[in-house]
Amino acid sequence: FDGTDTHYFHGGPRGHHWMWDSRLFNYGSWEVLRFLLSNARWWLEEYKFDGFRFDGVTSMMYTHHGLQMTFTGNYGEYFGFATDVDAVVYLMLVNDLIHGLHPDAVSIGED
């Protein structure tokens, strides 16, 4: 905790979503993963949530956030250099956590 605003978020332009005026988590950070995964578990156990809806998944998965992009079905458009692999890994981990704790839970990713 060094007082900077990049403890949980990417620094510089990568850490700011220009269209939504919001900050972007650094999913490659162990502390971010621990924070987000423990929150998911807390909601499942304390409030008996039966699933999660993840909003703006395209914005998480790509460094261009899917903005002003046309996806035509070409494999390279979905899994190219613009893919934020750390964010994809987080989505895999949280989905595994959700269904590991509650196999009948629902996971929805809004695109």
Check residue 5 and give its pLDDT: 78
Cα separation, 31 vs 35, in Å, equals 6
The one catalytic residue among 50, 96, 110, 111 = 110
Is 110 annotated in the active site? yes
- Please report, in tens digits, the pLDDT of each residue of the chain (111 residues total): 566 778 899 999 889 998 999 999 999 999 999 999 999 999 999 999 999 999 999 999 999 999 988 889 998 888 999 999 999 999 999 999 999 999 999 999 998
Q: How far apart, in Å, are the Cα atoms of 80 and each of 7, 31, 69, 77? A: 27, 26, 13, 6
Cα separation, 24 vs 76, in Å, equals 24
DSSP 51: E
Residue that the structure tokens 């950070």 belong to? 29
Could you tell me the two tokens for 39? 């929150």
The one catalytic residue among 5, 31, 50, 55 = 55
Helix (H, G, I), strand (E, B) or coil at 42: helix
